[in-house]
Amino acid sequence: MSIELTKQDRAQAITSIERYFKENLEQYMDQKLGNIAAEALLDFFLKEIGSSVYNKAVADAQERLQARVMELDIEIHEEEFQYWKTNNRTTNRK
């Protein structure tokens, strides 16, 4: 499964990659990272590790949902046979 980003998310990701490169890596390189190179790097990361991140997120979501399902009986449990306890009726039969 290929991870697709919206145009807005893709543009923000590319801008972020360019900024990261400029602030953290440019001093070690002889060249700047342009828009096209940042986009290619984003595509590489999405294809190479995107599925791993996605699969981990799905596994985490499943784990949280399973934990919530296990607590379901505690959260919505109703006491049984409550009629006589709640009505406190006494019958006087002679």
> What pTM did the predictor assign?
0.66
Distance of CA 76 to the CA centre of its chain: 26
pLDDT by residue (tens digit) across 15-71? 999 999 999 988 888 888 999 999 999 999 999 999 999 999 999 999 999 999 988
If you write DSSP's letter for every residue of the chain in order, what string do you get? ------HHHHHHHHHHHHHHIIIIIGGGSSS---HHHHHHHHHHHHHHTHHHHHHHHHHHHHHHHHHHHHHHHHHH---SS-HHHHH-------
7 vs 80: CA distance, rounded Å: 55
* Structural domain spans, the chain: 7-87
